[in-house]
Amino acid sequence: MSGTSGEQGQFFSMEIANKALVDGNFEEALKHFFVCIKMLPVERRGRYEDQFAAAIHGWITQSSEHAARAVNLYPQIRDLFPETVRTKIAIVKAVQISGQGKWLLNCLPIVKEAMALTTNPEDRAILRIARVNLTTVPFPQWHIRMVNDTVRIDDVVLKTFDTSDAERIFPPSIDCQYQKMSNLVIALEEDVCLAMISKEVLKRNKVADRVTVHAKNSMQFETSQNADVIVSETMDCCCFGERIIETFLDAHVRFAHENTIFIPQKATVYVRLFQCREIFDIHCQDYSGIRYRSEYVKINDEPTEQPYWCAAREDYAEFEFLSPPEELHTADFSRLDVLQKSLRCEGSTKLKPKKKGVAHGFTIHFVADLTGTGVLVDSGDCHAWDYGVVPFKEPCVVDVGQELDVSWKLVNNRLDVYNNFYSEKLQKAGSLIQYQTISMDRLHKIRDDSYFKQMMAEITINELPFTEDISFCVPAECVLKTYPNKEPTGTIIAGFIRHDGSLNQDNMFRIEQCVGHRDFVKKIVPSQVRIYGHLFYSDYIHFDARPDPTAHCKVDLATVRNFNLREMRDIRLTQRNDIVLASEEFEMIFFDNDPNNYRNDLYETVTKEITVQPNLGAADGVLYEFEVLGVRNSKLRPVAAFLFQDRIRTGDQPASISKKIPEYYSIPL
């Protein structure tokens, strides 16, 4: 089929489209597909949809800019295939792969349209996964905690804006709560998803005519107006991670007049010593003469990959502070000359332990003075913020009466805090101690070695030279190094559990790549993995996962309430008293790791319906844990949970739940 179009009589044909598709010239292929398919009656277009879907998928993943163009082209694409879903699924998958998160929410209407059209169970499962992912992306856990934190909302909204008669307010980082008190607001939010949600919230609360929302970073926003009040979100757990200094410096120059009020006016960062062996063990493990440390641990004076880890003290039963907070630095956001000094500065302080103990690291938190009138927000007292945690490379015994030297550097919004009081013996050892930085997943495999012996027992001595470890397990690597590596690979060591207790989906793809159609791979270890579940109940998780209708200053956030978390990870049962099991145990999934199971060209959706007898009147979701070769280890191995969209009332009647796993992706129940 062919045709001509345009003033110059450009020639279009399916033959050219298919050749361009095979050659990977997706843009050229799409031009020809668009014209030629449009000329066909709707009932005949379906025979070409596979090629078109492949072209649109390839084009989107070819360049990050194409995600936006594809979303904008969707009305024309829908007109080509109004009654089928293959192209719709291809677009959604490609936008997800592209890494352009700000366009993901625009795919939600596409998913809903496709779900209404399809009758294929596998397509419905894939679309259900996509819908869950899309409604989760805009609201990670810390957004929900901010929405639900009544202390923070009361301070930021009710107290702060009651003190101002401003006509023009610029919040360079939008928060849904700010809209209530404003006369004329220009709201700036770089994340397109959040900007769209904010617009819906404003419409629902009938104040959209007073607030203009721009999906831009404040530094890219241009205006001739000056603001009476400039508000920025009150920072991450270490105050400076959200580039608040640069944001306010830019606002001083371009948006402010001599009487502009800046909120927050200033913020002070504090450091404390803490004791928690569990946190230390998460980040520090020794094995075979090497001291392995996470990317958050400062091994020397050089900056680590990450300046701090985030943790809530409520998640660790034995967490304890050993010193009162000491001030590190105060950033004054209201004075341009003073604020400029906070771009690059350093200093030191002394920590004085209030009791004897073993210190495992520093915590960092901030206190923000919102208006200079005594309206303070202490991140340590609010549920919205975690503590910033700087784990030590070795535990330090401390005692009352000591003065412990701590230094810090603040450079380009990054705050690093250093321990200068390691023992003299440790400092003298110097290079004699071999430290190595590795990922959290690899650290977890050292700490949780409960099934290591059983796993290695599945490999004979003769098979060890032909064994490849794709799990990055340090103990396994040490064993394999003692044998000469030989080809071809006959045995693969795989890792099915992430350090946060969830299924390691990357592991599945690694197995597929290693096994494929190569018949010489005869064994995958561990050979068997099971996942067991319980219904569970937790007020703490309920509050962290779902926007609370009672916490919103009478603002209607029904739109936001669609964006609850669907999975909670890194739950350490030995540290948590809030979790109550609400049913007997049931088996969810059994992985038979026969290599032949990974040699399929097509993967089918596995659907399993389970009838569960509740023993409590309510449930928040399904808590799940792994059993590897018959071994469990909930003491050292965190678990994860699939969360229901809302808390369900179970009564005493059996509840039916289902689990689907298409293409190795786990879905919340």
In 110-120, which positions are buried (b, 16+ CB within 10 angstroms) versus exposed (e)?
bbebbbebbee
- The residue ranges of the chain whose pLDDT is under 50 are 4-9, 173-182, 659-669
Residue 324's pLDDT is 97
Which of these, 83, 77, 104, lies nearest to 93 by C-alpha position?
104
User: Is 121 found in the same domain as 59?
Assistant: yes
End position of a domain, from candidates 206, 240, 263: 263
User: Is 257 found in the same domain as 270?
Assistant: no
End position of a domain, from candidates 378, 407, 438: 438
Cβ atoms of 35 and 43 closer than 8 Å: no
Residue 201's pLDDT is 86
Residue 364's pLDDT is 95
Distances from the Cα of 616 to the Cα of 517, 534, 577, 651, 653, angstroms: 49, 12, 16, 7, 10
Residues paired with 368 in a beta bridge: 267, 377
Please state, in angstroms and rounded to a whole number, the distance separating the CA atoms of residues 58 and 381: 49
Rg (CA), the chain: 28
User: What is the CATH classification number for the domain harbouring 343?
Assistant: 2.70.160.11
Please state, in angstroms and rounded to a whole number, the distance separating the CA atoms of residues 248 and 263: 10
Looking at residue 124, the DSSP 8-state letter turns out to be H
Residue 181's pLDDT is 44
Distance in angstroms between the alpha carbons of the first and the last residue of the chain: 46
User: Is 223 found in the same domain as 102?
Assistant: no
Residue 554, in any domain of the structure: no
Distances from the Cα of 215 to the Cα of 224, 242, 611, angstroms: 18, 17, 46
User: What is the CATH classification number for the domain harbouring 111?
Assistant: 1.25.40
The SS3 call for residue 451 is coil
Residue 566, in any domain of the structure: no
User: Is 208 found in the same domain as 130?
Assistant: no
**Three-class SS string for 293-355?**
ECCCCCCCCCCCCCCCEEECHHHCCCCEECCCCEEEEEEECCCHHHHHHHHEEEEEEEECCCC
Please state, in angstroms and rounded to a whole number, the distance separating the CA atoms of residues 367 and 498: 35
Q: What are phi and psi of 655, to 5 degrees?
A: -110, 140
**Is the full-model pTM beyond 0.85?**
no
Count of domains in the chain?
4
Q: How many CA atoms lie within 13 A of 179 on its CB side?
A: 28
Cβ atoms of 264 and 244 closer than 8 Å: no
Residue 565, in any domain of the structure: no
The domain in which residue 38 lies consists of: 2-136
Average pLDDT, the chain: 85
User: Is 350 found in the same domain as 206?
Assistant: no
Cβ atoms of 541 and 637 closer than 8 Å: no
User: Is 259 found in the same domain as 391?
Assistant: no
Distances from the Cα of 6 to the Cα of 19, 26, 31, angstroms: 22, 20, 12
CA angle 298, 302, 305 (to 5 degrees): 65
User: Is 124 found in the same domain as 169?
Assistant: no
Residue 547, in any domain of the structure: no
End position of a domain, from candidates 371, 405, 438: 438
User: Is 85 found in the same domain as 43?
Assistant: yes
- H or E stretch including 170? strand 169-170
Cβ atoms within 10 Å, residue 425: 7
